[in-house]
Amino acid sequence: MFTLGSKTITALGIFKKEVISVSKRIIVMLFVFISLLLFSSCDIKSIGGMLVSEETKANARMEQIISAIKEKDAEALKSLFSKKALDEGDDFDNEIKDLFDLLKGDIISYERDGWASEESITKGKISLMVRFSINVNTDENAYLFYVIDYNTDTIDPDNEGVYMLEVSLADSKNVGSWQERMRAGIYIH
């Protein structure tokens, strides 16, 4: 205990206030940290300092695919596919031709119908696979596109890009799970 002017101050009183103040700070920091963990869903990734959701990535890829198809731009469509898909595919140029031949009429509407994703992390490298469907309507028919896209792949950079684009008439029956149907390139049912 010591006296400062007319006030008597105890060292223990100052120590208690500092401990309480530090404890409050730690509690607030823990609350913020836990909140960040709880409220950030698994579909948020940090890319170059920006937060980009997998849903946003699916939407962007959908727009690229639809744009290339609307323009009947084979090179633009081919450029969306990964090197691995192009190497593993059967005859990519004919697959694109068959796709353009299948789609009758002009695209008048399209909508992404859900999405799912899987992420692998190995030694700090990431592979993000996003799967989604697109309902496509032309002025003559309705189609269902199913896309498997490795939007990010630093584990195997040759795998980055669209791996599979499956196209069927909208009223076609589903031909199995995505794992059973997964193959490189463009497939028409």
Residues 88-119 pLDDT 10s: 988 899 999 999 999 999 999 989 887 888 88
Backbone angles phi, psi at 90, to 5 degrees: -75, -65
Question: 25-39, 51-65, 149-163: lowest mean pLDDT where?
Answer: 25-39
Q: Is the pLDDT of residue 60 over 80?
A: yes
What mean pLDDT is reported for the chain? 80
Neighbouring residues of 140: CB distance < 8 A, sequence distance ≥ 6: 104, 105
Residues 171-189 pLDDT 10s: 876 666 677 777 888 988 8
Q: How far apart are CA 18 and CA 12, in angstroms?
A: 10
Q: How far apart are CA 162 and CA 143, in angstroms?
A: 19
Q: What is the pTM of this model?
A: 0.69
Q: Is 182 helix (H, G, I), strand (E, B) or coil?
A: coil
pLDDT at residue 39, rounded to an integer: 54
